[in-house]
């Protein structure tokens, strides 16, 4: 069970350590059921930390997003750790970054938060509307309970408000952590990739029409790329001008090229945290592409990313018995 006192005590101890730069967790947002990533530098700031079904953000992104600025002359680089609060899916992102050597184990102190699934705010909005006053939610006996503006609460069955990725989640417990805040939760999900199979069963023309419709609304804000804990190339092909791999023009051809490139670069790397789909301001169902590639990799290579920090990246591994009958 979630124990916020424990969370804050551990956070206080952690940020007091000499070898920790800051801690990244979640705190109540500025309105409604929103939550913000919260950066804690001093023990006084831990009281606003929280953990609830509203904590969707995958904070592992910040491990690679934070700019590496030049060290001023006469100063030593700050090599202290970043302490990071992780759910199950978030921990897989950290593991995958370790596998790829995007970060090193010494750079991060992992505080594991076994998770019972986070909500999809769009589903919540449909039921309760978007409030102005900041409000909270909690897990309660298989339900998720929401605080209402009048002080009362309203509970819904988990499956009615959980994010889709959480309904099929197989890794609610952190796969790697330095400290676990409370007991692991029982795994509830199984994933038969029903949504992928459904789209797969359509004709190429139907699939093309489906994606053309979706990609035509892309505004190229790159929030899907920036929020992704696996998208951390210092030099992204989307930003390159010489050579220009992808035009900046917003049209369905370029948008498709962008989204296909994004998805391919995540094959065998995406850990299904669903952040890209959550943040998309025009609601493109990006997880349908990511999950298609996840399914292929899982079935063809018996490989799942972000589980074992000692393993090799998919593209850097080879086994003589790897399936190859799809190669022409």
Partner 1 sequence: MESLKLSKEKLGDFVSKLTDKELLVPQKEGEALKFAPLAGEDMPELDYENTSVPPKNAVFPHTETMLQFELGKMDMQVAAGDEKEKVLLGVRPCDARAMVIIDNLFTWDVDDPYYVDKREKSTVVGLACHEPCSNCFCTSVGGGPASTEGLDVLLTDLGDSYLVQPLSEKGEVLCQAGADVLEKASDADIQGAEKAHEEAANKISRHIDTAGIPENLPSLWEHELWEEVSRSCLGCGICTFLCPPCHCFDMQDEVEGFEGRRCRTWDSCMFSEYTMHASGHNPRHSRRERTRNRINHKYSYYVDKFDVIACVGCGRCINLCPVNIDILDILSKVREAL
Residues 67-96 that bind partner 1 (CB under 8 A): 67, 69
- State the CB neighbour count (10 A cutoff) for residue 54: 24
Q: How many residues bind partner 1, per CB under 8 A?
A: 48
Structure tokens at 284: 């493109």
Residues 285-324 that bind partner 1 (CB under 8 A): 285
Q: How far is the CB of 86 from partner 1 (least distance, A)?
A: 16
Q: How far is the CB of 13 from partner 1 (least distance, A)?
A: 22
Residues 147-206 that bind partner 1 (CB under 8 A): none
Beta bridge partners, 253, equal none
Identify which range of 75-83, 106-114, 154-162, 216-224 contacts partner 1 by CB under 8 A: 216-224
Beta bridge partners, 155, equal 145
Binds partner 1 (CB under 8 A): choice among 2, 4, 13, 62: 62
Residues 7-36 that bind partner 1 (CB under 8 A): 29-32, 34-36
193 φ/ψ sector (left φ>0, alpha ψ -120 to 50, else beta):
left
197 φ/ψ sector (left φ>0, alpha ψ -120 to 50, else beta):
alpha
SS3 of 25, please? strand
CA dist., res. 167 & res. 184, Å (int): 17
| Alpha helices in 203-286, H assignment, sequence order | 204-216, 223-227, 252-264, 275-279
Residues 225-284 that bind partner 1 (CB under 8 A): 225-227, 239, 241, 244, 247-251, 275, 278-279, 281-284
| Binding flag, residue 222, partner 1 (CB under 8 A) | yes
Beta bridge partners, 301, equal none
Residues that bind partner 1 (CB under 8 A): 29-32, 34-39, 57, 61-62, 65, 67, 69, 130-132, 213-217, 219-223, 225-227, 239, 241, 244, 247-251, 275, 278-279, 281-285
């Amino acid at each position: 069970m979630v124990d916020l006192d424990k969370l804050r005590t551990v956070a206080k101890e952690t940020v007091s350590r000499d070898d920790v730069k800051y801690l990244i967790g979640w705190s109540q947002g500025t309105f409604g059921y929103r939550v913000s990533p919260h950066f804690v530098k001093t023990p006084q700031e831990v009281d606003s930390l929280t953990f609830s079904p509203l904590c969707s953000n995958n904070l592992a992104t910040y491990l690679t997003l934070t700019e590496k600025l030049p060290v001023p002359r006469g100063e030593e680089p700050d090599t202290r750790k970043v302490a990071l609060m992780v759910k199950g899916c978030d921990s897989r992102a950290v593991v995958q970054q370790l596998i790829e050597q995007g970060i090193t184990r010494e750079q991060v102190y992992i505080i594991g938060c076994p998770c019972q699934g986070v909500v999809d705010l769009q589903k919540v909005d449909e039921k309760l509307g978007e409030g102005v006053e900041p409000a909270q939610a909690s897990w309660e006996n298989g339900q998720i309970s929401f605080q209402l503006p009048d002080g009362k609460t309203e509970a819904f069955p988990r499956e009615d408000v959980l994010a889709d990725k959480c309904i099929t989640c197989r890794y609610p417990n952190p796969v790697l952590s330095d400290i676990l805040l409370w007991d692991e939760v029982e795994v509830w999900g199984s994933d038969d990739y029903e949504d992928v199979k459904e789209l797969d069963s359509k004709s190429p023309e139907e699939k093309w029409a489906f994606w053309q419709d979706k990609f035509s609304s892309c505004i190229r804000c790159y929030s899907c790329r920036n929020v992704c804990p696996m998208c951390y190339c210092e030099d992204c092909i989307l930003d390159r001008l010489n050579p220009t791999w992808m035009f900046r023009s917003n049209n369905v051809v370029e948008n498709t090229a962008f989204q296909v490139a994004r998805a391919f670069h995540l094959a065998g790397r995406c850990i299904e945290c669903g952040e890209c789909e959550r943040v998309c301001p025009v609601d493109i169902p990006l997880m349908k592409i990511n999950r298609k590639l996840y399914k292929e990799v899982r079935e063809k290579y018996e490989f799942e990313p972000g589980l074992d920090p000692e393993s090799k990246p998919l593209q850097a591994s080879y086994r003589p018995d790897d399936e190859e009958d799809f190669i022409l």
